[in-house]
Amino acid sequence: MKIVYPWLRELVGVTGDAESVAREISLRGFEVASVEPGHNPVIDFEITANRPDCLSHVGIAREASAIWGLPLQMPGVTMPQAGPAEDLQVRIEDPDLCPRYCAQVFEISVGASPPWLVERLEAAGVRSISNIVDVTNYVMLEMGQPMHAFDLERLAGRALVIRRARPGERMTTLDGVDRALEPDMLMIADAEHASAIGGVMGGRDSEISASTRLIALESAYFFPPSIRRTSKRLGLKTEASIRFERGGDIDAPPIGIARAAALFEKIGAGRPRGPIIDRYPSPRTVLQIDLRASRIARLLGQSVPPADVTRILQALGFTSSETIRQDDRLWHVTVPSFRVDVMREADLIEEVGRHFGFDRLPTTFPSLTEPQPAPPASLSLERLVRQILTSTGFSESATFVFVEKEAALPFSEPGVEPSPIANPLSEKFAVLRPSLLPGLLDACAHNRRRERKDIQLFESGSRFGSTGEGRAAAFVWSGAADDPHWSMPTRMVDFFDAKGIVEQICAAIGVDVEFGPGSAPFLVRGRTADVLAVHNGMQTRIGIVGQIAPSIVEARGVPASEEVYAGELDLKALAAVASGDERVIESLPRYPSIVRDLSMLIDDTLPAAAVRGTIRSAAPSTLVSIAEFDRYQGKGVPEGRVSLSLRLTFRAADRTLTDDEAQAATERIVEALRTAHNAERR
């Protein structure tokens, strides 16, 4: 909000230069974006969405009045004597979207605005158009009440009807764009068609011109969510919509018209014809809140002198009366209609604290009556997963929960549409992510476009599916598997590298894990595995790992020739099978081991996990490890078969094994593989 400093001084008699005034006001919670020096210094304040009352010079002047203890000089709103009444019909058909609507007819003479008016508008960043439009903009900047002027002669039936748009209705707005209207949009219409989009922008058909002699001046209060929704759907953000969508002052519409009338008379632009028409079907009750001195002391950590509480509240526009109840001072506070952000006692205490000075409050630690509870196990698990991924060379990424629908669809459950956002900021944020991988893949593409070829990213966070929200951890990996070194050629990442990352995570958490054939529409068949946790003799699927399909990779901006591997783990499922802090410690073996190497011909589609399972089921308890050390296809190996070499290690805990025992166990394993998988020993 650009505040013209001379304009501010006119409303409240602050002294000093603009920078010192801006600095003092900023201490009360208003961030200063810039201070522009010059003949008319301008202070640009960043106003938060909860303070629409400060989107005006009067609003900031009221804050200055409370800071310096100076009286606020409200602008003159004396209504000039009205001429003969002109016929104007005003009807509210939708009081839910427009609780109050005021209008008045003015006889005008369109021309140029006086220099002082043009100067102030331009300093505030508003272009001068004509004296009539300039006055409406001036009142909006001064008092925060947007208004709009209709050419009365161009309103069919001399009527203003506040209604919702009709199916298929269209209108051309003041910017010359023909817009399709939706049934839930609020329209200001005449007897035949829409003349303005309520609270957003007027229409071309009722625009005032140099020949206009009679206008209907509108000043209203609109339901904020309706204005916000309409503005977003039309992609049309105006100074008026910015104010209305944050919540205006329902008592301001008639005051705004009176101020405009006073300015019209001051610059000789027009005079009223007839009284103000005020349609207010259901007047709102005044909000009253009890404020306790004990509660102020409890929330702020320090009591505030009663005289200061009264002074601050009155300066900010609140009215109050004091009583003593049960040895506690009590203020009965009436909230002004322009303070839409004040709804409870804590809000009043915030106002007192802001102007009493948060810097004056003592710094203390809260008293603890019991030890701080331990963090939940799920939080500790997620933190550990992040530490493991960081230690393995991955960088943590933070992507949006809202993603593009086209990016989410390949990662959604079969037959389940991603959850849509009711009012997305854009198509890039249209749905809730069903997986963490769409965002990570886009982050991978972002880095790839900036000439980063070796990419390791991970993220932990929420994802949304058919069962609701869940927590997951995911990673993507493309490019080199290891840091490049002159002594050897660079090896590119493959499926087994990604699988190894999952194994490291599960090993650190204490989860026994196996991998089975997996399938997912976004992963390459044959390079995909389900992650299966083995717990209490049962397998539980906790995630998936594999290569992302080249078509999906290319669609998100990564060359299809670049192999991108990914994994995603369900943290809730992982926590259910994690061993927690329990670790089984075994002493070093006292007896030697015996190693037997096997080379078996098996089907090339047979998973290694199936081979391992068969070996373990056939082997005695003395088998302590199985390791694959070679896989060969080519000359001497039949088509469709593969030579898999395994190293079996046997050891007994209470004695030294004999060669005969190891050989007998090996033979049983070979026979089991032959029976179960039609394997042949080479």
Q: What are phi and psi of 159, to 5 degrees?
A: -130, 150
The encoded tokens of residue 66 equal 């409370």
Q: Which amino acid is at 245?
A: E
501, with CB counted inside 10 A (0-12, 13-18, 19+), is buried
Q: Are 186 and 97 in contact (CB under 8 A)?
A: yes
Q: Are 666 and 658 in contact (CB under 8 A)?
A: no
Question: What is the three-class DSSP state of 82?
Answer: coil
User: Residue with structure tokens 């004040």?
Assistant: 342
Q: Which amino acid is at 268?
A: G
Q: Which of 131, 137, 127, 114 is nearest to 264 (CA)?
A: 131
- Count the Cβ atoms, other than its own, within 10 Å of residue 339: 22
Q: CA 101 to CA 92: how far, in whole Å?
A: 8
- Count the Cβ atoms, other than its own, within 10 Å of residue 20: 12
Q: CA 472 to CA 566: how far, in whole Å?
A: 13
**Which CB contacts under 8 angstroms, 24+ apart, belong to 455-458?**
455/479, 456/393, 456/394, 456/395, 457/394, 457/395, 457/396, 457/397, 458/386, 458/389, 458/390, 458/394, 458/395, 458/396, 458/397
Sign of CA dihedral 86, 92, 97, 99: positive
Kindly give the residue spans of alpha helices, DSSP state H, lying in 619-658: none
Q: Are 208 and 202 in contact (CB under 8 A)?
A: no
Query: Cα dist. 262→61, 69, 123, 520, 598 in Å?
Result: 20, 28, 22, 71, 101
The encoded tokens of residue 541 equal 């699927």
- Count the Cβ atoms, other than its own, within 10 Å of residue 140: 21
Contacting residues for 312 by C-beta, under 8 A, at least 6 apart = 66, 351, 352, 355, 356
The encoded tokens of residue 42 equal 């301008």
Kindly give the residue spans of alpha helices, DSSP state H, lying in 336-404: 345-356, 377-391
Q: Are 256 and 186 in contact (CB under 8 A)?
A: no
Q: CA 636 to CA 117: how far, in whole Å?
A: 95
Q: Are 427 and 404 in contact (CB under 8 A)?
A: yes
pLDDT at 581: 55
The encoded tokens of residue 356 equal 């009493």
Q: Which residues pair with 538 in a beta bridge?
A: 535
Q: CA 294 to CA 411: how far, in whole Å?
A: 55
Extended beta strands in 184-269, E state: 186-189, 194-197, 201-202, 214-221
Q: CA 488 to CA 558: how far, in whole Å?
A: 27
* DSSP-assigned letter for residue 152: G
Sheet containing strand 201-202, strands side by side? 89-92, 159-164, 186-189, 194-197, 201-202
What does the radius of gyration of the chain's CA atoms come to, in whole angstroms?
37
pLDDT at 363: 82
Q: Are 337 and 319 in contact (CB under 8 A)?
A: no
Question: Domains plus CATH for the chain?
Answer: 2-68 (3.30.56.10), 89-279 (3.50.40.10), 288-359 (3.30.56.10), 377-577 (3.30.930.10), 594-681 (3.30.70.380)
pLDDT at 583: 64
CA 488 to chain centre: 46
pLDDT at 362: 83
Q: CA 361 to CA 20: how far, in whole Å?
A: 23
249, with CB counted inside 10 A (0-12, 13-18, 19+), is buried
Q: CA 44 to CA 62: how far, in whole Å?
A: 16
Low-confidence ranges of the chain (pLDDT < 50): none
HSE-up of residue 204 (Cα within 13 Å, Cβ side): 10
